[in-house]
Structure 1
Amino acid sequence: MLLCVTANHRNTPFETLERLSVDAGRLAESLAAGAAEVRGAVAVSTCNRVEVYLDIDAAPLAAHALARHGFERALTELGGADARELTTTAEVLDDAAAVHHLFSVCAGLDSVAVGEEEIVGQVRRAATLARETGASSGRLEHVVQEAIRTARAARAQGDASRTGRSLARLALDLVGSRLTDWASTEVLIIGTGRYAATTVASLRERGAQNITVYSPTGRAQLFAQRQGLEPTNDLSASLHRADVVITCTTRLSVGVDDVPAGARALIVDLGLPRNVDPAVGALDGIALLDLETIRLHAPLVHWSAEEDARAVVDAAAHSYVTAASVEPAVVALREHVLGVVQAEIDRARSRGDDGRVEEALRHLTSVLLHTPSTLARRHAAAGRGEQVVAAVRTLYGLDIEPVAAENDATSDATSDAATAPQAATRSSSASSAKP
């Protein structure tokens, strides 16, 4: 079954999320290797969430326990003994709830700034990393790809791209309410990652012209050259000149001792863990805007674009979940038909078939299986999943396992064998591949 363990801005204080911030790739690997029942893991760690999506082959109660204990164990391994205490607010979602949550996250509907555009890229990178390290599974890969496709559809339907509700844009909206003119504002960006590039684009949309970049890791020169900015290696002098400072790195970059006397600036901390010591906000002439403040100022009303996007996500998540309910029946039907076909292929080989009979049979099998597989999922989406399962049992006398016990590797192997007009040696290799 699919599960999600999530600690996010809705159920966990930002101070706790700061301490939970870990390397997503290592978290997924640790969880995937933690128990034999865990068949795959994908971890997502962003500025307002740390969560893992798990494919667990166990009964619901056991799967929930494995998910929560595995999350605690992995965080303890990566974050030290104190990390165990930080998981108490994390929520465990399973099956339909986990799928709907993932779809909502990808579409930016579960972000601090509703409609945030960066999150779908972060989920995509997390899934890619899990796949490359062997931590993912076929089921997780499939649901993530569906979530990404749904995010694109939701953005198109809800026009989220024009609405521009990214975290950086929301922060700059709050800053802009205190400024008279962006064109005359001295802006300092601390950080050179993807979020920094997004912030630069948002600043230029507002007319900002005087933008300087500083990097704690010495990458300011290259980033400035790419973005057409002014680099600096002198943090203190730059802080003294700046009217607005925006931090978006992965480490603490600004402490009380870094701020020179006489500096007057509005500092926006977009980092998690936080990039700016909270004590900086108490200095004379300094105002500090952090993620907690941004969350409190996030719009509470539902604009029409958000409603449209939510409708797309709800429909897609429901369709995915209902289609999954008949997947064991589809797999059982494929296995049955393929077994019959394989027997005929073996008989043809024994009679000296040169491969043409085998190719024709595999092609015919693919054609014959396509329509019932498609219609089964369509009927499931219409609420007739139980009838589909009953029909397959009755007509073919098959023993259909429940969804939680479905074997992904068998499912993928049978699908491959049905569609590939290749020799049996290739089919046997496909059956051992992870979906």
Structure 2
Amino acid sequence: MLLSLGINHKSATLEVREQVAFSSSQMALALEDLTSLDEVEEAAILSTCNRTEIYCRLDGGGERLVLEWLGNFHRLPIDSLEHCARWHRDGEAVRHLMRVACGLDSMVLGEPQILGQIKGAYQLARTHHTLGSDLERLFQHTFAVAKQVRTETGIGENPVSVAYAAVNLAGRIFDDIRQSRALLIGAGETIELVARHLREAGIQGIIVANRTRERAQTLADEVGGVAIGLDELENALVCADIVISSTGSPTPLLGKGIVESALKTRKHRPIFMVDIAIPRDIEPQVGELDDIFLYSIDDLNDVISENRRSRQAAADQAEEMILANVSAWQHERRVRSAGDLIRRHRHQAERLRAEAEAEALAALSRGQDPERVIQKLTQQLTNRLLHGTTSRIRAASGAERVDLIQAAEELLIDDSALHQESP
């Protein structure tokens, strides 16, 4: 059974989502631990600011097994996750992954970043050898569908991302964003988008802070900014009117104390903050301070809802394309399943043929009559090839399994061959 288990922005609060998120340093261990379960044949894990999702192929077991693993890995009680977990099985799991890849399940309808994040999850699972043929083909099929949707619908036109929404909200709060300075914490894809949007808005200055200063410098060079390390955050806060943060840090980078100190030095000039990270980079208590306007990723809904309305027609078209591709995937999977059965059947027949051939050759080497050897060979081969099938047909008949008897007749009996005249 194919299964997807997810906890996302639609089903869970920010507090829950950050508890079940996987950091990059945890992912290898998580994949190894998950696939060590006897029932889990293949697995991939997607963990972003808005969702944690597990895609796997199960041999037995069920949803509860995967949910228990998720809770145990993060040391969370299962009861606290049951109400916000969402399961999809087989065809619905395929449809769900395709919808996610196309941005149809995102907070920002049609946003393109999620496809790159899914590709990252796929590559990581490949690197750690937790993908088998089913998930490998599913991800490849999904990538093709996402490309088709981007090409043939307007879902990607006038893109609105979480990064854009954050900058748009800043523009609403400040009378003239061109007179402001921004501190960006992180140097990943989301912060890169934020930096570009801010530069296009004509912001006065940008400071990029990152754990790896070289990455911060690369981004700062692209947008005409300044790069610093995380150890310089306190000084940078003093001159920042806008703070937007999105890192993979497992613990907050900005606490109430450091922000309060910066406000005193700024003589209480307000700071607008958006924390896009999961887990959060900015302690929620920072929002209690006067002159701090702190927003989380869940607070961007007003900006994002405008995007959803404008893209709904393209989304409806994309949904139809996905349904067609789910059917194509299921058909392909059934064909592959039959192919595996055919290969096993041929392998069994080949083994019986080889055994009969070896016996016949041995008889010829002992000088036995070739005609009698051939007769015996054909008799033995026919008996051996039919023995298992006829035994199971008799057993099915005795058990009154009419369905199996009818299937056997359809699969085994070739009426056209029976009615051919002998030459």
Specify if TM > 0.5: yes
The residue aligned with 1:173 is 168
Q: For 2:119, give the aligned amino acid.
A: R
Q: Secondary structure at the match of 2:97?
A: helix
How many angstroms does 1:48 deviate by?
0.8
Aligned-partner Cα distance in 1 for 2:89–2:146? 20
Please state how far the C-alpha of 1:241 moved relative to its aligned partner.
Answer: 1.9
Q: Distance in 1 between matches of 2:39 and 2:69?
A: 15
Look up the match of 2:237: 239
Alignment-derived partner of residue 27 in structure 1: 30
The equivalent of 1:273 in structure 2 is 279
Residue of structure 1 equivalent to 2:258 = 258
Partner amino acid, structure 1, of 2:336: E
Q: Tell me, yes or no, if the aligned pair for 2:185 and 2:209 is still in contact at 8 Å.
A: yes
Shift of 1:394: 2.7
Which residue in 2 is equivalent to 1:332?
A: 341
Which position in structure 2 is the counterpart of 1:313?
A: 322
Classify the secondary structure of the residue corresponding to 1:7. strand
Query: What is the SS of the residue equivalent to 2:117?
Result: helix
RMSD: 3.1
Q: Does 1:119 align with 2:119?
A: no
1:278-293 to 2 correspondences below 5 Å: 278-293=284-299
Deviation (angstroms), 1:136: 1.8
Q: Secondary structure at the match of 1:165?
A: coil
Q: 1:171 to 1:247 in 2, by over 3 A?
A: same
The CA deviation string for residues 214-268 of structure 1, in whole angstroms up to 9 with x for no partner, is 1255453454346542123532332222222110112211111122122412111
Match of 1:8 in 2: 8
Identity %: 28
Contact 1:29 1:130 in 2 (8 A): no
SS at 1:163's partner residue? coil
Give the conservation status (yes or no) of the 8 Å contact 1:216–1:253. no
- Is the aligned partner of 1:197 residue 2:189? no
Give the number of the structure whose alpha-carbon radius of gyration is greater: 2
Report the alpha carbon displacement of residue 30 of structure 1 after superposing the two structures with TM.
1.4
- Alpha-carbon distance change, 179 to 335 in structure 1, aligned in 2, over 3 angstroms: same
**Offset, 1:343:** 9.3
User: Which of 76, 87, 98 is the matching residue for 2:81?
Assistant: 87
CA distance in 2, matches of 1:392, 1:11: 48
Give the paired residue count: 349
The letter of the residue matching 2:51 is R
Measured after TM superposition, the shift of residue 180 of structure 1 is 3.9
Matches within 5 A, 1:334-353: 335-336=344-345
Instruction: Tell me if the contact between 1:20 and 1:83 (Cα under 8 Å) persists in the aligned partners.
Output: no
Q: CA deviation at 1:45?
A: 0.6
SS in 1 for 2:278: coil
> Any unmatched runs of 5+ in structure 2?
362-405, 415-423
How far residue 8 of structure 1 moved from its aligned partner, in angstroms, is 0.9
Superposed, 1:366-385 pairs within 5 Å as none
Q: Aligned match of 2:210 in 200, 215, 231?
A: 215
- Answer yes or no: is the 8 Å Cα contact 2:44–2:56 preserved in 1: yes
Q: Residues 56 and 135 of structure 2 are in contact (CA less than 8 Å); yes or no, is this contact kept in structure 1?
A: yes
Q: 8 Å contact 1:24–1:126 — kept in the other structure? A: no
The 1:135–1:392 alpha-carbon spacing in structure 2 relative to 1, beyond 3 Å, is farther
